[in-house]
Amino acid sequence: MMKATRRAALAACAAGILALTTLIHPASAVEKPPAPGFRDVTVHDPSVVTSGSHIWVFGSHGASAHTQDLLNWTQHTVDLSQNSNNTLFTNLRTELKEALDWAETDTLWASDVIQLPNGKFAMYYNACKGDSPRSALGLAIADTVDGPYKDQGILLKSGMWDEESENPGEIYDALIHPNAVDPDAFYDEDGTLWMVYGSYSGGIFIVKMDSATGKPVSGQGYGTHLMGGNHSRIEAPAIQYNKDTGYYYLYTSFGGLDATGGYNMRVARSKNPNGPYVDAKGTVMSTVKSNPSRPLFDDASIAPHGVKLMGSHVFTRESGSPGSGSGVGYVSPGHNSWYQDPKTGKMFLIFHSRFPDTGEMHQMRVQQMWFNKDGWPVLSPMRYAGETTERTVSEHVVGTWQLINHGTDINTTATKSSTYTFRSGGTITSGTGTTSVGSWRITSRNTADITLAGTTYNGVYTPVFDPQYNSWSYGFTALSSTGTALMGRNISLAARSASTPDGAWSFEGNLNDASGQSATATTTGNRLGTAGTAPTYTTGIHGRAIQLNGSNGVVLPQGLIHGNRYTVSMWIKPEQLTEHTPAFFGAASTEQWVSLVPRGNAAAQGNAMVWSGTQWYDAPTTTSPPLNQWTHLAYVVNNGTAQVFVNGSRAYNGTGFPNVFTSTNATFALGVNYWDTPFSGAIDEVKVWRTALTASDISALAAR
């Protein structure tokens, strides 16, 4: 046939070019990582420092841990209340006796470690009485990050009632002077060392430090006031300089740290390390403090201010969905530090949190972070699982979403998600309704522009690993111009795991879609568009299978695949093999198609292959399925990357695969196309996903 001859000639030429392409690009750069593994630790109030390839965190009560990948952590030291021995010091209680005695306590609060220019590590430790701001903040030095640290003495004290404070001539007053705890040392863009600190009481303060000694430059007293006062529930400061935006970002935690305390992470920014810091509405944060005429720990005065990045929330588990409990999320997340990977540029917040349904149990978590177009940080809706942002396409976004609006309140109960539908064409409807309540857009590679109830939010779309569904999905995180955080997860995409395809035909005596996602298949004659006869069935790889006799085929639902990310998986048992005969065929038109063939053209040396028309492309394997035996075939298209698998093993990998299914009305069939000899043999367990499965997913599908 003339058309088949033309296809074969052009495909043979393309095969040589693509064989070279495969050698140059041996692996896919956009394939999603496998399901992650996590090893969690408990470090309350974590603060980050690096040493070689290891990322360390130090926190309250002498706890510490380290990692190399931000997923699997190793506990180094534990809570002093559980173990009085601590390898960070030769004898912690003896060496830090002065600070512990002053604070009238036997434990430490949030410690911070930074490496000095001389290579030594400086630990800023602190102790607090707890029911008052009587605290001591000191310095210890070590040659290596894991110690032992040697005490250099107390740097600042607080809570000296009716006595002179660290500000000469001023009697200590907890309404205006700080509680000397929660230190965070950092370098500014010029390499100058600073330390920000404070909790409740008079608020957050900053002092300039001597990087040679690690001690404050003399004559500053408590330093410069940045935020809070009058016993505002504001604490845990950390400052990050972002060279891309030119701002210093002051992170703090508002509220109380226990499960019902409403802890939440907020941020303000400044062009200078020592302020003034402002929020997205332009409020100068040094003016944000409790009203002294109100009861102690007045939250109402401070809650509207600062950009609230994340508070207590839960993406609810709906009836019938996987998992247990009320859902996934965080309870009282806070006291964060930040980290930027020097190789990849990825940025993260590292913090401690409680969790829904688990009381006061707390662990450390890592959340990837980006800066939106207005220069404000936004946090991933799910914990970091090794994801890398990629080009977002509409298939990532269309579906049912759960959204969290974090608002501005210091919420002592978890905010529950609301359900919306992100529809093709860019509209958003509430629940499963049809009336538009907003819109979504992909404004560049992966940036999100979402309007809801008249408010526009800017941020990013990102791959996420959803722990409830135990599968990769998509999420977004964004901020309004006034600093309200909105984040969400695509639960439609999360549910499309290896066990939930968008179409599945097992041929158990019928042509029904076993997934419940697509319509029932129909029969055709020896070409697409011809009349078919009643189907016949035979013994399958699992249960029954469809039997094709070389003169008939199966038509799958129109529009089964649309977009440039999809997976096709099937079992075949051929009775004969003829060149170009399709096992699976999809066509947007007679000139724009993709075909999975058990026996390819001469360029494929008669082996199984995937090939495409219009933009001619060959994806040959080195395997020919044997006659009268079951063989598993699959192929994955992922935004231009094509992979073909035979019996669970990847047999082809290449780039530049054409985007064929650009509309929702393409035609799909088993065993037939418009031109070639129909398939003769049995076909079973046909499954199609509108997403790209991983190699491990395909391997599992090929297991008998």
Instruction: List the catalytic residues.
Output: 45, 235
Residue with tokens 């393309």: 14
> Using CB atoms within 10 A of its CB, is residue 285 exposed (0-12), middle (13-18) or buried (19+)?
buried
Rounded to whole angstroms, the Cα distance separating 466 from 156 reads 44
The beta strand positions in 521-676, using DSSP E, are: 522-524, 536-539, 544-549, 553-556, 565-574, 584-589, 592-597, 609-612, 617-620, 631-638, 641-646, 649-654, 667-670
Contacts of 358 (CB under 8 A, 6+ apart): 331
Percent helix, strand and coil across the chain, each to the nearest 5:
10, 40, 50
Rounded to whole angstroms, the Cα distance separating 501 from 489 reads 19
Closest alpha carbon to 180 in 233, 231, 227, 125: 125
Residue with tokens 């690009």: 25
Q: What are phi and psi of 258, to 5 degrees?
A: -75, 175
- DSSP track, 470-533: TEEEEEEEEEETT-BEEEEEEHHHHH-STT--SEEE--SSS---TTSSSPPPEEE-SSTTS---
Residue 340 token pair: 């930027």
Question: What is the torsional sign of CA 19, 23, 29, 34?
Answer: positive
Question: What does the CA dihedral 44, 49, 55, 58 come to, rounded to 10 degrees?
Answer: -20
Radius of gyration for the chain, computed over Cα atoms and rounded to the nearest angstrom = 31
> Using CB atoms within 10 A of its CB, is residue 567 exposed (0-12), middle (13-18) or buried (19+)?
buried
Residue 495 token pair: 């549910």
- DSSP track, 667-681: EEEES--SSSPPPEE
**Exposure pattern of 443-469 as b/e (b: 16+ CB <10 Å)?**
eeebbbbbbbeeebbbbbbbbbbbbbb
Rounded to whole angstroms, the Cα distance separating 286 from 556 reads 65
Instruction: With residue 699 as reference, give the H or E element that holds it.
Output: helix 695-702
Tally of CA atoms within 13 A in the half-sphere of 226 that contains its CB:
35
Angle of CA points 525, 530, 534, to nearest 5°: 45
Instruction: With residue 4 as reference, give the H or E element that holds it.
Output: helix 2-24
Q: Measured between alpha carbons, how far is residue 298 from residues 113, 208, 285, 294 in Å?
A: 32, 30, 16, 6
Closest alpha carbon to 448 in 404, 495, 394: 394
